[in-house]
Amino acid sequence: MSTLSERILGAGAGEYVDRKVDRAYVHDGTGVLALESWKIMGGDRLADASHLYVLFDHITPANNSTTATLQHELREFASSSFLQFSDIGNGICHQLMSEGVVLPGEVVVGADSHSCTLGAFGAFATGVGATDMAAIWLTGETWFRVPATIGVHLSGTLDGVAEAKDLALTYVGKLGMDGATYQALEFIGEGTVGLGMDERLVLCNLAVETGAKTGMFYADTMTVKYLAARGHDVLPQMPEPCDYCRELDLDLADIAPVVAVPPRVDTIKPVRDLAGLPLDQVFVGTCTNGRYSDLARFARAVKGRKVAVRTLIVPASRSVLAEAIRTGVLADLVDAGCTIGSPGCGPCLGAHMGVIGDGEVCLSTANRNFRNRMGVGGEIYLSSVATAAASALYGEITEPEVP
């Protein structure tokens, strides 16, 4: 009997396999490097590009002429090679791949560490370097060492104001930033049933922050329904008895609002322990928490009120932005004093559109709070959307209110 990773890769933990890649994608940053490596390897034209994607999201719109020139070259290559191409403003690569593209059982690789997000669909999804991606462009395949798997048993339901982001930060804190190095996290148990796809994407997104190769859910009725609404008829995956290298038990009812304290994602403290810490900026977005459900929750919390600190909201995709416009969520955010950014990664990687200054403090719904990530000398605290909303209203870290 096999874990989900073993089943998809077709071998036992520790074995090396060559596997055809079902979907491979790059963004504007890693795509430039992959293209350069592909040319060095002798690449001339792509025989089959239907499963290859170039998705602009990291530094979009371009922040200077050098970036614009590099993006122009990659854009021209993508268009001439008939790759699946998404230009600026369409959204974050991981989000776009989650909007009815990735399917259960697929092998998915992205030239970005948070490609593990897509394991939420029962796919083996992981990040690779630009050189590996160039080789995939050439051959359509790559190699893996099949990871051992940690079983993360979830029970109960999230209560009160705790969100999936609080659960994700909690498991990162328990495993540590290198506690699952080159292993897979398999989220199992009756607690998974009540988690929607957006919440599963959050949990898989942070898997890499433990050093994991991927995070995965078994495709179930929730997955089947989500993909059916996007035109795909898929079957659920049934778990088998298997051997985990380690097991972690989490009761969702015990999860409380938490914050990751800089400069480590695994340094977790209850929000109440940091209440009153002054903020210079609140940022809501990224491949972790920039989905429509996130924007809608934030909007409900601030509707009819005004934020007390500069607050940036960056939708994860154009479809998220369109839904926020259609439902009035965007108007509520603007009326509350929030600034809306173009769909994409925004200030997450510290390139532009919200970089913080030396000594400034930002509360972010992103997935990393490393030193100097969002601006040299600034400090980043990570939280859920609910905590970010309460904190934006008071200009300091604040416990979220019970809805």
Domains in the chain with CATH codes: 17-143 (3.30.499.10), 148-254 (3.40.1060.10), 258-394 (3.30.499.10)
Tell me, what's the pLDDT at 82? 86
Three-class SS state of 362: strand
- Give me the DSSP letters along 252-299: GGG---EEEPTT-TT-EEEHHHHTT-B-SEEEE-HHHH-SHHHHHHHH
pLDDT(103) > 80: yes
| Whole-model pTM over 0.85 | yes
pLDDT(3) > 80: yes
* pLDDT tens-digit series, residues 241-282: 999 999 999 999 999 999 999 999 999 999 999 999 999 999
- Residue 221 · residue 187 · CB < 8 Å: no
pLDDT(1) > 90: no
Residues of the chain above pLDDT 70, percent:
100
φ, ψ dihedrals at 97, nearest 5°: -70, -20
pLDDT(47) > 80: no
* pLDDT tens-digit series, residues 114-126: 999 999 999 999 9
* pLDDT tens-digit series, residues 325-365: 999 999 999 999 999 999 999 999 999 999 999 999 999 99
Average pLDDT of the residues of the chain: 97
From residue 166, alpha-carbon distances to 101, 186, 343, 390 in Å are: 27, 18, 24, 15
Strand-pair partners of 108: 23, 125
pLDDT(396) > 90: yes
* pLDDT tens-digit series, residues 294-337: 999 999 999 999 999 999 999 999 999 999 999 999 999 999 99
Tell me, what's the pLDDT at 160? 85
Strand-pair partners of 283: 312, 364
pLDDT(178) > 80: yes
* pLDDT tens-digit series, residues 60-74: 999 999 999 999 999
Q: Which residues of 312-335 are buried (b: 16+ CB within 10 A; e: fewer)?
A: bbbbbbbbbbebbeeeebbebbee
Those residues with Cβ within 8 angstroms of residue 6's Cβ, 6 or more apart along the chain or in another chain: 12, 13, 146, 149, 242
Q: How many helices (H) and strands (E) does the chain have?
A: 14, 18
Amino acid, single-letter form, for residue 28? D
